[in-house]
Amino acid sequence: MLVLLRYEFILVALIVIFLLAWLIPGKSEDRSLSLFWINVLLFINFLFGFIPVEEGVLFNNMFYTNEAIGVQKMLLNFGALIISLQAYDWLKSNRNAFEFYLLLISTLLGMFFMISARNLLMLYVGLEMATLPLAALAAFETDSKRSAESGIKLILNSVLSSAIFLFGLALLYGETGSLHFSDMAGKLTGNPDGYRDTTLSLLLVFTGFGFKISIVPFHLWTADVYEGAPVSITSYLSVISKSSVVFVFISFLYIALKNMAPLWIPFLMVTSVLTMTLGNIFALRQQNMKRFLAFSSIAQAGYILIGILGASALGMSSVIFFVLIYIFSNLGAFGVVSVISAQTGKENLDDYKGMYHTNPMLSLLLLLSMFSLAGVPPTAGFFGKLFMLMAAAGKGYYILILIAALNMIISLYYYLRIIKSMFMDKSESPIAYFRSSIYSRIALVICFAGIILTGFFSGIFDYFYSISFGI
């Protein structure tokens, strides 16, 4: 049991440690030492992921784990570590660093339970645990009104979506008489008589998922929340939170609803086209970098849906692979935005003009991140996107991937706008040269290396492929 629940136990231990450290009186104002140890602990937590995971079931199917789930958890751990490193500059001056980590780790724990769930109850509990503390985190900057607004918007939307989700789950339970994915798969056989009920309950469940992955038309909360929240939380929401729900969405579709594919495939097709197109169109007009990245991440979610539509081992592995790359590229972009925001407080696209003159390394990293998000070689994003589209092509959805490919052109336009701003535009007052802390630099270098190298080391993808499954 200890072995199978390893990831979760470590996180609980971390929570206990943070809680105790939080309670110790007489803390100095200087946070750097404790932040150092926190990051070391998170790093150790990440390293534990390299120990192979066995397949196993605990608590009567409430908890399931196998190699693929281990990899997914490890990816989330990794992303959290990077975000923690990037948050150093910001947390150093914040009194509530311990609380930040406590909440962060709780959400991570929730995601782990959620990913491991093969049962609707654990799925729901995990999902709640993964989102509720995030609202507190989004409102973490207690003296900023925007941050408070972001927290309120996040919690209202997540509660609303949870309610819809829960209603859907309850109906599903009513129809199938079971909470377990595998039993449900047996009952949900796509029998046309039962379609009417199932359609409604699945629509509600998908709405719940849709809110969390922020796919159109359930995306309305995203931009405001992302803009108001502290940058680290924004990146956490857009990368870790989203990826974890994507993982569990895949298991839910591929296991519980494997016989219902004719029902959910059209749904995913329509939403993915909407998500890509609207995300891109809105991203075109943004001036604030965080808002811009918010919309770009909505569009990325659309591509992820296409990968899921592949419904094969290729589809699942390409999505996991894309998430890895997405962690590198989006966290690279957010990392740059985050250090600039922490150093200068500037968050607008216009502020980035002429940045290559003053901060060449940051500009280059942002350039690579943008290319990777746009899916342009030699960056890893090219491989990630192409494999997802390939998965969909395997099912013959050529028109869909044509739409996706044309959307990539639109997205390229706005990614190039950022590059133009940094490399081609002149500015009276470019962002002055600065050196960020060693922590953020480590994080940025990791992202940099990841963006360049991930695509070329085919072993990573091959490994993901070997642990993936389809319908």
Footprint on residues 343-372 left by other proteins (CB under 8 A): 371
Site string for other proteins, 22-61 (x = CB under 8 A): ------------------------------------xxx-
Q: Which of 7, 46, 63, 282 binds other proteins (CB under 8 A)?
A: 63
Q: Is 4 in the site for other proteins (CB under 8 A)?
A: no
Contact 337, 290 (CB under 8 A): yes
> What is the per-residue DSSP string for 419-459?
HHHHHT---SSPPPP----HHHHHHHHHHHHHHHHTTT-HH
- Nearer to other proteins (CB atom), residue 344 or residue 469: 469
Contact 195, 252 (CB under 8 A): no
CA distance 332 to 340: 12
- Nearer to other proteins (CB atom), residue 96 or residue 182: 96
In the complex, the smallest distance separating the C-beta of residue 398 from other proteins, rounded to whole angstroms, is 6
CA distance 220 to 234: 15
Site string for other proteins, 131-170 (x = CB under 8 A): -xx-xxx-xx-xx-------x-------------------
- Other residues' Cβ atoms within 10 Å of the Cβ of residue 247: 24
Q: Is 448 in the site for other proteins (CB under 8 A)?
A: no
- Nearer to other proteins (CB atom), residue 294 or residue 408: 408
3-state helix, strand, coil in the chain (%, to 5): 75, 0, 20
- Nearer to other proteins (CB atom), residue 19 or residue 270: 19
Contacts of 172 by beta carbon, 8 Å cutoff, 6+ apart: 120, 184, 198, 201, 202, 205
From residue 309, alpha-carbon distances to 71, 266, 316, 470 in Å are: 21, 9, 9, 10
Q: Which of 393, 442, 452, 471 binds other proteins (CB under 8 A)?
A: 393
Stretch that binds other proteins, among 66-74, 192-200, 227-235, 288-296 (CB under 8 A): 192-200
Q: Please give the residues from 76 up to 135 whose contact with other proteins meets the rule CB under 8 A.
A: 95-96, 99, 102-103, 106-107, 109-110, 113, 121-122, 125-126, 128-129, 132-133, 135
Q: Please give the residues from 212 up to 271 whose contact with other proteins meets the rule CB under 8 A.
A: none
Q: Is 17 in the site for other proteins (CB under 8 A)?
A: no
Q: 250-271: b or e for each residue (b if 16 or more CB lie within 10 Å)?
A: bbbbbbbbbbbbebbbeebbeb
- Nearer to other proteins (CB atom), residue 47 or residue 163: 163
HSE-CB of 34 using CA atoms within 13 angstroms = 23
- Nearer to other proteins (CB atom), residue 37 or residue 457: 457
Q: Is 377 in the site for other proteins (CB under 8 A)?
A: yes
From residue 96, alpha-carbon distances to 26, 135, 136, 137, 454 in Å are: 14, 15, 12, 11, 35
Q: Which of 412, 442, 452, 471 binds other proteins (CB under 8 A)?
A: 412
Q: Please give the residues from 268 up to 327 whose contact with other proteins meets the rule CB under 8 A.
A: 314, 317
- Nearer to other proteins (CB atom), residue 48 or residue 465: 465
CA distance 379 to 453: 8
Q: Coil, strand or helix: which one is 288? A: strand
Q: What is the DSSP secondary structure assignment for residue 60, as one 8-state letter?
A: T
Q: Which of 57, 159, 376, 442 binds other proteins (CB under 8 A)?
A: 376
In the complex, the smallest distance separating the C-beta of residue 462 from other proteins, rounded to whole angstroms, is 4
Q: How far is CA 451 from the centre of its chain?
A: 17
Q: Which of 284, 465, 469, 471 binds other proteins (CB under 8 A)?
A: 465
Q: Is 197 in the site for other proteins (CB under 8 A)?
A: yes
Q: Is 71 in the site for other proteins (CB under 8 A)?
A: no
In the complex, the smallest distance separating the C-beta of residue 60 from other proteins, rounded to whole angstroms, is 5
Q: Is 401 in the site for other proteins (CB under 8 A)?
A: yes
